[in-house]
Structure 1
Amino acid sequence: MSIPQQGGGPIERPEQMAEYVASGEKPRDSWRIGTEHEKFGFTWDTLKPLPYEGERSILAMLEGLRDRFGWEEIRESGKLIGLSRDGANVSLEPGGQLELSGAPVETIHDTHAETVRHLDEVRAIADGVNAGFMGIGAAPVWHQDDMPMMPKGRYALMTPYMQKVGTLGTQMMYRTCTVQVNLDYASEADMVQKLRVALSLQPVATALLANSPFLDGRPNGMKSWRAHIWQNLDAARTGMLPFVFEDGFGYEAWVDYVLDVPMYFVYRDGKYIDALGQSFRDFLNGRLPALPGELPTLSDWADHMTTVFPEARIKKYIEMRGADCGPLSHLSALPALWVGLTYDQGALDAATELTRGWTHDTREGLRRAAARDGLSGEHDGIRLNDLAGEVLTLAEAGLAARARRSADGAADEVGYLAVLRERVERGMTAADDLLAKYHGEWQGDLSRIYAETAY
């Protein structure tokens, strides 16, 4: 989840909020790629999650990365809760999931290299304390009571609130991990086209990278339990956003949507002030109960924008949010998929045509089928495995047209999609492979999954 934002000074005109979103516009030659992924830490001897403090802990990981690899500290109320270096951040999810928010880079080769370097550094520190980190979409064995809470004020506020909205909010916070990619847009029209394609095809990403078939030590009946969770919490801030497909959608319509999402907090002087359920519209009029008489800043607006969680969202870039975390190959394939689809105009236009005429029921039905059945899912006559094959062909063509080669000139970006192409050819997700091992050679012993999914 996000760290406090730095959006700017006072909001003096309502138009500033849309202008803030529009300020993310960049010319094509300045478009960048920012990959984020989360992972679960555990101790090898006990197979329990890492606590925040102690000899073998998340704090020890952060201190080790700081001291050995030159990361700078990020603290909150005196607690070390993150790191920064060269435009990238390491941060903590509520249950101790360690997240890399990568720097904006030019190519998939660059984001792959950054991820490899980060995982090498994490492994170097973890090996020293007999710990490991695994890439999977949901904690397969640990129960909710097993999970530690990280010392961040945002999470202390969100946890009790999440228990009141939907049914699975705290599972999302403490027991899931994702990989996502952040991408740029050139104009309002470009943002609209990309966001519509992103929402329509997010179920394909969910299906291709489905990797969370276990919960509480047994199969959970889903290929992506993480995706299932997002379908069952706080409808006010999640979902497939049918209004995005209405005529006239643009920056102002996005602002109206975010304004109507209940608030979580206001960040002041290093502390999170409880504004749970309150209205940002009231804030604009100086009537926020949490801060009566005070008006918001653009930093407050930027913070509030981080508290909406649809399948794809806009800040000053587009976040693709539909995929489970997985092995290293997945961490590079996910950005390759979306860059191929959206950074080449021909591929983007073809993806728009592929999804033209879909209704909200189609998109929502595919979303639910992807979580439940992965590539075997089907809705309204559309088979996800067939659709994924078509989408991969478009992404491969888009990456080939970009023609961004590795530093040695030996490879373009298309190769990062090979793992997904292989999944389509077999019709098997990572979740299917794990389930086959669970019912086969593991004989129901889920302790085997730690070594299987460790980086």
Structure 2
Amino acid sequence: MSDSISDGGDCTEHRTAVTEPEVEALVRGICFKTGPPRTLGVEVEWLVHELRLPQLPVTPERLEAAYAALRTVPLSSPLTIEPGGQLELSSPPAASLMECIDTVSADLDTVRAVLAEYGLGLVGAGHDPWHEPRRYLHEPRYDAMEACLDRTGAAGRHMMCSSASVQVCLDAGYESPGPLGHERRWQLAHQLGAVLVAAFANSPLVGRQPTGWMSTRQLLWMEIGAGRAGAPDPDGQPRTAWARHVLDAPVMCVRRDGSPWDVPEGLTFREWIRSRAPRPPTRADLDYHLTTLFPPVRPRGHLELRMIDAQPGDDGWIVPLAVTAALFDDPEAAESAHQAVKPLTERAMNLPAPHNPLWTDAARHGLADPELREAAAACFAAALEALPRLGAAPAVLDAVAAYLDRYVARGRCPADDLLDSLRGTDLPPSRLRPAGGARTAHGRKDIRT
């Protein structure tokens, strides 16, 4: 599941200047690859902290020593480093839900065992609750990204260096209409996205203080701005709407040999094509431009759902993966989810996600919002019915049922646990201490090369 829409290679075509019609054709033809939904994947991001006392900062030198050891370990899933030193494990496309879970679980066992040798562990939270943003990677891409995002405030640095998520990757769906058609799945992803934000909100703290938001991570994306982190017109045909969005989105940087890279202000890709300054954009520039756009649903041939906060516990990521896969890939569950979220559309006021009232309420209130709670309960019930049809193991069904009982049925989310614990003495080890050792149950540095 590559970030690039090209077939790769340093061919002449890749270095040739592109026109607006060519960009539209490329984006329309490659970012939505339709067909029967057969594969899925997951990208799990983790904060890396001191195993014994996660409130203590970890030096860059110590992180580098641990990451050097990880580079020598064979894994089935590519492991990458985020700008702040977070780790992301990206599964290969899997033919079934259980294949995806088993592959990632085995890789995480290995990663945790290596980190434990250095006294480090993985923490699942949408935003680091303890530390200020600190950049670990110093490369031209991230220098340019920081310079660009700083123009809208501090949200960009928090997003780059202090956030983590569970990103579910789904096939785009059939070309034809119906519950598994690509247009319906694209629409469902944006409507259901607010429910997923609310149900799995897990980032209420910054600097150990409540922010007033259950998903501060989602707030950060909203503050970064619609051009960089927003969705296209919700009523548009997916291919047309996304192609227009790509052309009208601001260019993050113009790459060149050496550093620093140029960071233009207010230059859209369409304007870059027309002005041909500081140089004409190429196919490679288009590929790169796509990796600098962070909508809540990103089409990359498949659909990448980016709105779910990282989850607590070694296996917390499995529940959002299982629920989302069931609601998209089982026809009956997909129709149930569509009906469950349909009443919420009026609250979106026909505005793109996440910059509309529905997504704002989801990020701020989580499942304390009655309508979001009702929709989430219906979606979890539909997922539980569908998961056996997808071959889910009993342990997965038990985990989803337990989440429904502990959180959804009570109008709660993991963020509520963190806030409850804050009212005591401190963040409890059971909630946010990194787990060590083996389990018992855009354009980033590749850690394995």
Q: Which amino acid aligns with 2:87?
A: L
Query: Where does residue 276 of structure 2 map in the other structure?
Result: 287
Code of the aligned partner of 1:219: P
* In structure 1, distance between residues paired with 2:332 and 2:430: 41
Q: Match for residue 264 of structure 2?
A: 276
TM-score, normalized by length of structure 2? 0.83
**One-letter identity of the residue aligned with 1:347:** A
Match of 1:142 in 2: 131
Which has the larger strand fraction?
Answer: 1
Which residues of 2 match residues 49-64 of structure 1 at below 5 A?
A: 49-52=57-60, 54=61, 56-57=62-63, 59-64=64-69
Q: Which position in structure 2 is the counterpart of 1:201? A: 192
> Equivalents in 1 of 2:403, 2:258: separation in Å?
43
Higher RCO (CA 8 Å, separation ≥ 6 residues): 2
- The answer to whether the aligner puts 1:244 opposite 2:234 as a matched pair is yes
Q: CA deviation at 1:150?
A: 0.9
For residue 147 of structure 2, the aligned residue among 154, 160, 179 is 160
Q: Given that residues 212 and 226 in structure 1 are in contact (C-alpha distance below 8 angstroms), is that contact kept between their aligned partners in structure 2?
A: yes
Unaligned runs of 5+ in 1: 71-84
Aligned to 2:211: 220
Separation in structure 2 between the aligned mates of residue 139 and residue 43 of structure 1, nearest angstrom: 13
**Bigger shift: 415-424 or 173-182?**
415-424
Q: Which residue of 89, 102, 108 corresponds with 2:97? A: 108
Corresponding residue SS for 2:264: coil
Task: Tell me how far 1:37 sits from its aligned partner.
Answer: 1.4
Pick one of 365, 368, 375 that aligns with 2:360. Answer: 368
Shift in alpha-carbon separation, 1:130–1:356, aligned structure 2, 3 A:
closer
- Relative to 1, partners in 2 of residues 1:453 and 1:240: Cα closer, same or farther, differing over 3 Å? farther
Aligned residues: 414
In terms of mean alpha carbon deviation, does 229-238 or 173-182 score higher?
A: 229-238
8 Å contact 2:27–2:243 — kept in the other structure?
A: no
Percent of aligned pairs with the same residue? 28
Q: Please tell me whether residue 306 in structure 1 is matched to residue 282 in structure 2.
A: no
Distance 1:162 1:16 in 2: 25
User: How far does residue 332 in structure 1 lie from its aligned partner after superposition?
Assistant: 1.1
Specify which of 404, 408, 412 is matched with residue 428 of structure 1: 412
Q: 2:68 is matched by which residue type in structure 1?
A: E
Q: Deviations over 1:11-60 (max 9, x none)?
A: 4672454445434524326x2111011111123467434344x2x21x22
Partner of 1:260: 248
Asked if the contact 1:51–1:148 (Cα under 8 Å) also holds between the matched residues in 2, the reply is: no
TM-score if structure 1 supplies the norm length? 0.82
Give the alignment's Cα RMSD to 1 decimal: 2.9
Residue in structure 2 matched with residue 174 of structure 1 by the alignment: 161
Instruction: Call closer, same or farther: CA 1:449–1:304 in 2, change over 3 Å.
Output: farther
Runs of 4+ in 1 over 4 A off after TM superposition: 2-8, 10-13, 266-272, 412-416, 447-451
Q: Give the whole-Å Cα distance in 1 for the aligned partners of 2:285 and 2:111.
A: 33
SS of equivalent to 1:163: helix
1:91 aligns with 2:80: yes
Preserved contact between residue 319 and residue 399 of structure 2 (Cα < 8 Å): yes
Distance 2:96 2:241 in 1: 31
Residue 184 of structure 1: how far off its partner (Å)? 0.8
- 1:244 is displaced (CA, Å) by 2.3
Letter in 1 for 2:359: R
1:36 paired to 2:79: no
**Contact 1:400–1:412 under 8 Å retained in 2:** no
Within 5 Å, give how 1:394-433 maps onto structure 2. 394-401=382-389, 403-406=390-393, 411=394, 414-422=397-405, 423-433=407-417
Q: How does 1:307-326 map to 2 (within 5 A)?
A: 307-326=292-311
Displacement of 1:425: 2.2
CA drift of 1:127 comes to 1.4
Structure 1 residues 419, 152: closer, same or farther in 2, change over 3 A?
A: farther
Q: Post-superposition shift, 1:140?
A: 0.6
Contact 2:172 2:186 in 1 (8 A): no
Question: 1:291-325 CA distances to partner (integer Å, 9 max, x unpaired)?
Answer: x2x3411x432221222222212121111111110
In the TM superposition, residue 7 of structure 1 has moved relative to its aligned partner by: 4.3
Higher mean displacement: 88-97 or 268-277: 268-277
Aligned counterpart, 2:11? none
| Unaligned runs of at least 5 residues, structure 2 | 9-13, 437-449
Pairing 1:336–2:342 present: no
